[in-house]
Structure 1
Amino acid sequence: MTSLSQIAWDDTVLPFQLDRSDIRGRVARLDGVLDRILTQHNYPAVVEALVAEAALLTALIGQTIKLRWKLSLQIRGDGPVRIIATDYYAPIKEGAVAQIRAWASYDSERLDYDGPGFDQIGQGYFAILLDQGAGNVPYQGITPLSGGSLSACAETYFAQSEQLPTSFALSFGRSKLPVSAERWRAGGVMLQAMPKASIPAASEGGSGEGGLLAAEDILDGEEGENWSRANHLLSTVEEMELIGPTVAPTDLLIRLFHEETPRVFDAQAVQFGCSCSPDKVRDSLSIYSAKDIGHMTTDEGIVTADCQFCGAHYEFDPATLGFEATKAPEDDG
């Protein structure tokens, strides 16, 4: 195959449906988006892998939200990897590009640079937050960290919080194509079935780790058989088929699910994007008094702020900040 296939499918999410099984899904390929997220930070390899996994999950999950909405993943724990945060900004109109950003915080002194990444998050939670815009109360769903990977946490979240059987097959890492520099690539498939059977009462618990619900607790009968069959087919996927770049997502779907009658919809392009701005920094500091702002002021007489997502650097006149500001922002030098 030529590089045209690579160019056509990099940084896209392709929705599809398996008509025979009544299962929907997405195929995602991240190239420039992921490389931009990771190359602007000097994360250790073990942290890079976690951020790559979280960004890929965000692309797959975020594609389902409506125009102008924002979906965020937050993973927090008490281990050396303290926070992984991602945002998916839905397109502002049909046909526009969606935007993704991601960031992680870790304790370099406690981190085991050669150890498994997920274990170093420790005890904590996996959360999905949905911002539907001004005038709407944001939705937040939380599930404990479990299952040994971020994708397993996402599967548990959908089973426990949404009663939606969900599964993922992901691959990510550094790759080097001929006549090009080494860069990050990621690819994955997400399957999701709408449950038609009743689910157990909360008091009964589920078959997942810690009594959490799992897919088999939600689906039974024909729906359960369809789900098992589709996931068996997904388990045959090879790493290079997921990550590309020479296997088009449409070809991958035919290879995996041709007996399930796959049907594809319009692909969604994604790119790196950050919503930070001077005004948003000011808003975040508006709760502080002049005394508090004074403690933030440098010896040079300015207040500085750096965006953890994109690295943007901001400098402010302290007199323009906080609820006791004495100068208007436009007077800020």
Structure 2
Amino acid sequence: MTPGSQIAWDDTVLPFQLDRSDIRGRVARLDGVLEKVLSQHDYPAGIEALVAETALLTALIGQTIKLRWKLSLQVRGDGPARLIATDYYAPAEAGGPARIRAYASYDKDRLQEGANPFSQVGSGYFAVLIDQGKGMVPYQGITPLAGGSLSACAQTYFAQSEQLPTRFQLSFGRSHLQGQAEGWRAGGVMLQMMPKASPHVAGASGERGLLEPEDILHSGEAEDWSRANALLDTVDDLELIGPSVQPTDLLVRLFHEETPRVFDAQPITFGCTCSQERVRQSLSIYSARDIAHMTTEEGVVTADCQFCGAHYRMDPATLGFEAEKGNGHP
């Protein structure tokens, strides 16, 4: 395999369908995007792992939705890892890349060194938010944190909120390729039964009374679902994160008896929507007195983007609804 063919599959999501089983899926590979996300911050190892897992889930889930603007995942808990937040922006034009950004909020003093990263979140919820843009009502779906991993939470979300049996198999971590600097790589496969008009719900057998995929399957579907999951169980980490195995070859290796069919791959890039104008807009609801409280000893108002680390410095006289006219600002 040539270096060029390796790079071609990095930072992409490849949609596919298993025609025999009526199951759709995605194969995702992230490297440069994930490295860019994590290089913006100096996170502890456990927090990096949570951000990497959430970013990979975001890439897989975002590509399954007919999205006009933005999909967000939020993981909130009462543990030292307080918040993991990601945004996935739909391509601005056909064939263009989708954009991902992510960040974490955590209490460094409460982190337990060497502990399972998911245990650092504590009790809380896993949320999926879909914003289709101006004039559309945002959607929000929430499920409790359960199952021992963020991917298990995502599976529960689809079973509970969408009645769609869903499976994620993920791998992520720092890797070192010959002749290249060490960096983050992640890869994963998502399986999902095609939507049905009226799924059968047999009962809730999951942790804390939550639905599992098997609870919403008919007998024939359950057999197809079990077979596809058994095949996915044979995948190993090196096959998921590559770069020695192309996603198309992986699908043939795993699912050749299920008649896999692939579609156009979706490129992914790091992208942030922050700007000084957006900061000004967010501060437009404040009075001059409020702005004065935000002003530093140097006589400026500063703002930092939690996603990309951009730093903004602004004249307080140009901020808020009582701002002075001129300088191109109302």
| TM-score bracket for the superposition, by shorter chain length | over 0.9
Aligned length: 329
On the 8 A contact 1:165/1:195 being kept in 2, the answer is no
Q: Which amino acid aligns with 2:316?
A: P
Return the TM-score normalized by structure 2.
Answer: 0.97
Residue matched to 2:118: 118
2:295 counterpart (293, 297, 302): 297
State how far apart, in whole Å, the 2-side matches of 1:66 and 1:168 are: 20
Residue matched to 2:233: 235
Q: Where do residues 6-155 of structure 1 align in structure 2 (5 Å cutoff)?
A: 6-66=6-66, 68-155=68-155
On the 8 A contact 1:53/1:150 being kept in 2, the answer is yes
On the 8 A contact 1:46/1:116 being kept in 2, the answer is yes
Q: Which amino acid aligns with 1:312?
A: A
Query: Once the 2 structures are TM-superposed, how far is the Cα of residue 328 of structure 1 from its aligned partner?
Result: 4.7
Q: Deviating runs (4+, > 3 A) in structure 1?
A: 195-200
Identity, % of aligned pairs? 74
Bigger Cα displacement from structure 2, 286-295 vs 5-14? 286-295
On the 8 A contact 2:203/2:215 being kept in 1, the answer is no
CA deviation string 1:101-159 (max 9, x = no partner): 11001001111122111111111110011110110011111111111100000000000
State how far apart, in whole Å, the 1-side matches of 2:160 and 2:6 are: 37
State how far apart, in whole Å, the 2-side matches of 1:233 and 1:284 are: 49
On the 8 A contact 1:130/1:139 being kept in 2, the answer is yes
Structure 2 residue 263 is the aligned partner of structure 1 residue 265 = yes
Query: What is the SS of the residue equivalent to 1:29?
Result: strand
Query: Once the 2 structures are TM-superposed, how far is the Cα of residue 319 of structure 1 from its aligned partner?
Result: 1.7
Query: What is the SS of the residue equivalent to 1:233?
Result: helix
Q: CA RMSD in A?
A: 1.4
State how far apart, in whole Å, the 2-side matches of 1:229 and 1:287 are: 56
Query: What is the SS of the residue equivalent to 1:33?
Result: helix
State how far apart, in whole Å, the 1-side matches of 2:280 and 2:163 are: 40
Query: What is the SS of the residue equivalent to 2:173?
Result: strand
Query: What is the SS of the residue equivalent to 1:330?
Result: coil
CA shift in 2, pair 1:211/1:313, >3 Å:
same
Query: Once the 2 structures are TM-superposed, how far is the Cα of residue 316 of structure 1 from its aligned partner?
Result: 1.0
CA deviation string 1:282-311 (max 9, x = no partner): 122222222221111100111000101001
On the 8 A contact 2:200/2:218 being kept in 1, the answer is no
Query: What is the SS of the residue equivalent to 1:224?
Result: helix
CA deviation string 1:242-286 (max 9, x = no partner): 000110000000000000000000000000000001121112222
2:317 counterpart (316, 319, 322): 319
State how far apart, in whole Å, the 1-side matches of 2:327 and 2:25 are: 47
State how far apart, in whole Å, the 2-side matches of 1:111 and 1:327 are: 48
Query: What is the SS of the residue equivalent to 2:143?
Result: strand
Residue matched to 2:249: 251
Q: Which amino acid aligns with 1:34?
A: L
On the 8 A contact 2:163/2:199 being kept in 1, the answer is no
Bigger Cα displacement from structure 2, 23-32 vs 206-215? 206-215
Residue matched to 2:221: 223
State how far apart, in whole Å, the 1-side matches of 2:150 and 2:22 are: 26
Query: Once the 2 structures are TM-superposed, how far is the Cα of residue 195 of structure 1 from its aligned partner?
Result: 5.0
CA shift in 2, pair 1:158/1:331, >3 Å:
closer
Q: Which amino acid aligns with 1:45?
A: A
Residue matched to 1:176: 176
Query: What is the SS of the residue equivalent to 2:110?
Result: coil
State how far apart, in whole Å, the 1-side matches of 2:71 and 2:327 are: 30
Unaligned runs of 5+ in 2: none
On the 8 A contact 1:65/1:90 being kept in 2, the answer is no
Unaligned runs of 5+ in 1: none
Query: What is the SS of the residue equivalent to 1:109?
Result: helix
CA shift in 2, pair 1:20/1:35, >3 Å:
same
State how far apart, in whole Å, the 2-side matches of 1:233 and 1:83 are: 34
